[in-house]
Structures are given as structure tokens and as C-alpha cells.
Amino acid sequence: MIIDIFGAGSLGLLFYSKLALTEEEIRLNLWTRTEEQASLIREQGVQFYPSANSVSLMDSLTIPAKGSVKPVSDIRQTDQNQKADIILVTVKQTHLTTDFVRQVGKRASERTAIICFQNGIRMDNLWRDQWQVYAGITTEGAKKPSAHAVVHSGYGETVIGRLVQGHSTADRGDESKGAENGQSDAILLLLNLWTKAGLNASLSNNIEMAIYRKLMINAVINPLTALWRIPNGELLQSPERISVMKRLYEEAIQVYDKADIEWSESLWNDILQVCRATASNTSSMLADVQQGRRTEIEWINGSIVEIGQRHQIAAPGHEWVCALIEAMTTKEAD
């Protein structure tokens, strides 16, 4: 089986290490953004820390390259029989461009399952209709202390479900077709491998609900941690902070209701629980701001504003955080 991983950020390196450690007969190709990172991994492998504690104990495993490790710009058209069975796309929304998707397409055939692990929902119909595209929502915790090292900082769960093409922002203002029932062999093999790797994964017939749940969690936690420059757990440390979180939450719920997006009664508590479970974590948006990188605000809070606009309901709180976050970064580091 051939598995290609696009993106060698924390999540990409985590999946790479865990799949390599299964010692199954798989060819694992890793596509990075830069040649610098690719050559480092080719020469020194990936340094994998199985838990947060293992970092202080300096207890890591070296995962040697198990296939090709190259920058995305080096992808060439390959023969049909060398195309990937499974493609995991772990790059940030900010890198998910038409050009990037064209490069991914060189590794895909009609039987390839492409699983996208993005925050936010505006995938803007980048994927071709004939491809089997899935969304992956994961709560696995991973940190990348250096370009070729990854820490599995917390165990979580991954839910995978088929995306209906052209409906990646499938709030019910559009006609939702629902997920297909039949799953490809590749997806079943991947779930099997995931279990062998000691990770939790399941298939969902209602991936849209999982996507919008994650969107809400990100829309409340990410901008506020980035604006206040605090780890996730500190959001809960004052009633004033909780009340700002609640305002963003309630505004988004009104948008969801107007757009007929399904949500669970436990959603507010789920947000609080994520803050507790990831208390010492730097959110991805705070990390982007700290590094002077472009954030995913447009795809997270911006999506809520956009769904609201389509359904004639304003989301001024989300508009404000978009403006505040966008004004924080003055340069693009990458």
C-alpha cells in the first residue's frame, strides 16, 4: 500500500511516525514545503517523542525515511500503478491553494482516498469531482519542537467521513446530499492501520456535524487565545473571559440555527472541556501569531461570518475578531 502525507507540520509528522512504527508493508511518502526540511528528514529521520513526558526524559525514537521525502514542488506525474492508495493532507488552510491541489492530484487516481485534516470549512471546491475526498477531524495532540522532531503530546480521536463534493461548506442553505454509505477499501485499510498504530479512529456518516463542532471550538478558542496571548486553559480563569467566549459561541449558534446546521446541546461544555484538556497548549492561531505567520482566521471565524451573510444574519463579534487578528500580522513568514 502507498500512503502519501502532504505537510510535515506537527500533525503530518505524527501520522508519519505512527504509521511507520506499525512496521506494515507500506510505502510512506512525505511531501514537505521546503527542500531543507526534506533533506534533514532524509538524512536524520524523524525524531519521535511518544509522550509529553518523554521530552524531558530525552526518550525518543528515530524513524528513518520509509519512502521518498521531498518538497511538494518536486512532484512529477507518476504511473497509475505508483499512485497513492491514501493521501493525508495535513497542511494549513493557508497553504491549500489551487496550485497545491494540482500537485496533490499528480499522486491521486480515482481509487485514491484523500483525507483532509483542515481547521475551518472553506475548502472552496478545490478538489476534483472524480476524487474520493474525506474530511478528517482529529483531537490528537502534537507539537513540533524542530523541523524533524514531533511530540505526541496527547491522545485523542480521529473521525473520518466522506465530503460531498461542492458542499464542503454544506450548511443547509445548500441542499445537503449526506455522506455516501459505501466506503472505499483504502479507507477501511487506513482505519485498520490506524488501530495498529495505537490511534483511535472511526468512520462517520455525519462528518458535517463533526466539522461544525470543530469549527465552533476553534472559533471560540483560537482568536481569543491569540489576542490575549494565553494558553488554552487560561481562557477559563476569569468570568470576564468566559463571558466573551460565550458571546462568540451564542452568536455562532444563531448563525448555525439560521443556516440549519446541526449542533449538539453539549457543545458549550465541549468547548470548556477542550480548554481544560489542552490547558497548557498554545493554540494553533496563537502559534501562528507568535511566528508572524498568516493565521487561519479567514477559514474559521470568517466562515461563520460568511454563512451568516448567506442567511441574512450578522455575526459582528466574529467580524471583529477577524479584523483584530488580521491586523496583528504585518508580514508573512512563509
Report in angstroms how near the CB of residue 150 gets to ligand PAF at its nearest. Answer: 16
Q: From the CB of 235, what's the least distance to ligand PAF, in Å? A: 10
Output the residue with the shortest Cβ distance to ligand PAF: 284
Q: Answer positive or negative: Cα dihedral of 116, 117, 121, 122.
A: negative
Reported as type and span, the H/E element at residue 243 is helix 239-258
Q: By C-beta, is 38 or 96 nearer to ligand PAF?
A: 96
Site for ligand PAF in 216-245 (CB under 6 A): 217-218, 221-222, 232
Residue 304 in the binding site for ligand PAF (CB under 6 A): no
- Residue 281 is classified by DSSP as P
Q: How many Cα atoms are found within 13 Å in the side-chain-facing hemisphere of 314?
A: 4
Q: Which ranges of 140-238 does DSSP label H, i.e. alpha helix?
A: 185-196, 207-228
Stretch that binds ligand PAF, among 149-157, 214-222, 241-249, 301-309 (CB under 6 A): 214-222
Nearer to ligand PAF, 50 or 154 (CB): 154
Query: What part of residues 85-104 is at the interface with ligand PAF (CB under 6 A)?
Result: none
Distance (Å, whole) CA 245 – CA 226: 13
CB 219, CB 226: distance < 8 Å: no
Nearest-approach distance from CB 287 to ligand PAF, in angstroms = 8
The owner of cell 512525505 is: 30
Q: Which three cell numbers stand for residue 279?
A: 490547558
CB of 291 to ligand PAF, least distance (A): 14
32 to 71: interface string for ligand PAF, x by CB under 6 A = ----------------------------------------
**Is 136 strand, coil or helix?**
strand
* Spatial distance between the Cα atoms of 7 and 87, rounded to a whole number of angstroms: 11
Instruction: Between 91 and 164, name the residue whose CB sits nearer to ligand PAF.
Output: 91
CB contact at 8 A, 38 and 66: no
332 by Cβ neighbours in 10 Å (0-12 / 13-18 / 19+) ranks as exposed
Report the site for ligand PAF in 117-146 (rule: CB under 6 A): 119
Of the candidates 135, 333, 328, 331, the residue with the CA atom closest to the CA atom of residue 223:
328
Edge-to-edge strands of the sheet including 27-32?
69-71, 27-32, 2-6, 86-89, 113-116, 132-138, 158-162, 201-203
Q: Given the complex with ligand PAF, which of 94 and 278 has the nearer CB atom?
A: 278
The nearer residue to ligand PAF, 20 or 221, going by C-beta atoms, is: 221
CA distances from 126 to 3, 101, 105, 316 (A): 21, 7, 11, 28
Q: Which is nearer to ligand PAF, 197 or 221 (CB)?
A: 221
CB of 11 to ligand PAF, least distance (A): 10
d(CA 259, CA 261): 6
Map residues 255-284 to x or -, x wherever contact with ligand PAF holds by CB under 6 A.
-------------------x---x--x-xx
Of 147 and 230, which CB lies nearer to ligand PAF in the complex structure?
Answer: 230
- Report the alpha-carbon distance of residue 163 to residue 176 in Å, rounded: 11
Which one, 132 or 281, has the nearer CB to ligand PAF?
281
User: Contacts with ligand PAF in 102-121 (CB under 6 A)?
Assistant: 119
**Beta carbon nearer to ligand PAF, 82 or 266:** 266
Residues forming contacts to ligand PAF in the complex (CB under 6 A) are: 119, 217-218, 221-222, 232, 274, 278, 281, 283-284
